[in-house]
Amino acid sequence: MIDGALFPGSFLFCRENVCGIDPGLELDSEGRVKSSPDMDRRIEIYKRFYEGYGEILVQVNVEDTRLGVAEYGSSFRKSGLYGACFDDTRPGW
């Protein structure tokens, strides 16, 4: 589904807990995401079709915040991709 939706200017929206349910998830000594093959796969597929427009949006919840998903997910910015993370745990979301 990801590769079929990626036209220039499209968004990739990753819902919460992508890393948390990843069977290949590796954590560092502080319990933060060191490697998440599922998130990496999503970013790599997006990069394959990225033409300078659009962004990756990552929704984080309490567990994702504890795991450092936003910090891990921001690694796609190093690739020249635009992206944002947002927290849905605040009242009123």
**For the chain, domain boundaries:** 2-87
Task: Indicate whether 48 pLDDT > 50.
Answer: yes
Query: What's the CA gap between 79 and 38, in Å, rounded?
Result: 17
- Output the pLDDT for position 67: 93
> Of 43 and 27, which is predicted with more confidence?
27
> Of 52 and 90, which is predicted with more confidence?
52
- Output the pLDDT for position 5: 54
> Of 6 and 35, which is predicted with more confidence?
35
Query: What's the CA gap between 43 and 2, in Å, rounded?
Result: 10
How far is CA 71 from each of CA 2, 3, 32, 41, 51, rounded to the nearest angstrom?
Answer: 22, 24, 9, 17, 24
With residue 67 as reference, give the H or E element that holds it. Answer: helix 62-67
Pair of tokens at residue 15: 């819902």
Q: What is the pTM of this model?
A: 0.74
Question: Which range, of 33-37, 43-47, 87-91, averages the lowest pLDDT?
Answer: 87-91
Q: In what order do the strands lie in the sheet with 55-60?
A: 11-14, 55-60, 83-87
Residues shown for the chain: 93
